[in-house]
A and B are shown apart, each in its own frame.
Chain A
Amino acid sequence: MTDHLIEINSLNKMYDSGGTGVAAIDHMDFYIDDGEFVSVTGPSGSGKSTLLSVMGGMNRPTRGQVQVDSLDLYALTPEQRADFRSEYLGFIFQSFQLIPYLTLLENVTVPMAITGRKKKEKRDMAMAVIDRVGLADKALRLPDQLSGGEQERVAIARAIVNRPPIILADEPTGNLDSRTALEIMALLQELNREGHTVIMVTHNREMERHATRSVRVRDGRIETLDTDWCTK
């Protein structure tokens, strides 16, 4: 039984690089509590995106354990892990990853495809989150008819539509100008205050300040910024 919402134990992820093993994550141990806003920072290639994908149940570690809400992610079957992602996680990507030929409303409805909800309920839930991110009047537009900031808002709406307790954001402001980036950070902070646990990977130190705690990663290891919270 765990004491924290997310627990990472002895995590190791090796990639094969031309016959030699490269440790993208090298023996990590840390935890994240429910309701935190944690930023994961570090230079390019430090392993932060790998860490996020491992925590998201999308990248099996070479060794170690990831427990979320006491569920050992990689002991679950692939079907259970898919259900886990649907129930617990909302993903926000740097490049938005919106489907270009679907309207904003349809893009936001996509994560509910396997939830078994009725069509009207899905539409109502999608409209509610679109309204929540301030894009209700543009619900029927295609992604390329929106600005970068608006597309990021759609990505956030899509991430929260299933009401996941955890939001994983990989460089959510990487493609945005600084003013729009601040708006997006304010939105993520708001979601955090509403109870979502937010884990954000960023290389931007400005954005790091919006988190309640920060993990610094270098060469696949955690560089402790604050020993009180980031290591066990």
Chain B
Amino acid sequence: MTWDPEKYREKREKVLGVKKRGLSFGTLTFAVSCIILAGLVFLFLPGPLSYLKTRHLDDAIFKMEHHQAWPRSLVTQVAALPGVSGTSLDTHDTRLVVTFDRRSIDPETIEALFARHGLDTTLLNRESHRQRMVILESEKELENETL
């Protein structure tokens, strides 16, 4: 029978690598590298991202004289101030922690608002929001260990 170049074309192309079977080594390596990179990003990126988001934030801790509880409506007003990104009260409602962007607002502006409402407050402390979070976290761990 005369040789027919079309008869075994598919086999010939397989041998010559024209038709790739499955994944090539390069593709497989690329895919595995992408998975590893994605894993590393997942593991290590949240930290830097969180830093970028919170690096301008400070926490101011206010206390009311005479141990009064903070009026809820006032807390809502503070939270609505431009540059304030959060407020939280301690369990007895005597301390108010205001998280704010130091580029937009300062504790004195917040204190002025309290004064307008006739409240006698004291700024107990001002510190970096990230630093406070770290302290809170370690305090929580310590509490768990003690229990």
Contact = CB atoms under 8 A, between A and B. Distances in A.
A83 B11 CA distance: 9
Interface in B5-50: 5, 7-8, 11-12, 14-17, 21-22
B95 to A, nearest CB: 67
Given A88-B8, A116-B21, A80 B2 contact: no
Contact of A33 (B1, B8, B15, B21): B1
B4 interface: yes
Contacts of B21: 116
B5 A34 contact: no
A87 B14 contact: yes
B19 to A, nearest CB: 11
Interface string A62-94: 000000011100001000100110011000000
A7 to B, nearest CB: 9
A34 B15 contact: no
Interface string B96-132: 0000000000000000000000000000000000000
A138 interface: no
Given A5-B3, A35-B1, A69 B14 contact: no
A4 interface: yes
A22 B16 CA distance: 34
B15 A80 contact: yes
A33 B3 contact: yes
Nearest to A87: B11
Contacts of B5: 1, 69-70
Given A80-B17, A116-B21, A116-B22, A71 B3 contact: no
B35 to A, nearest CB: 22
A165 B11 CA distance: 10
Contacts of B2: 3, 33-34
A2 interface: yes
Contacts of B17: 80
A71 B1 contact: no
A5 B16 CA distance: 17
Given A35-B1, A116-B22, A71 B16 contact: yes
Interface of B: 1-5, 7-8, 11-12, 14-17, 21-22
28 contacts: A2-B3, A3-B2, A3-B3, A4-B3, A5-B3, A33-B1, A34-B1, A34-B2, A34-B4, A34-B7, A69-B8, A70-B5, A71-B12, A71-B15, A80-B16, A80-B17, A83-B14, A83-B15, A84-B15, A87-B11, A87-B14, A87-B15, A88-B8, A88-B11, A88-B15, A116-B21, A165-B8, A165-B11
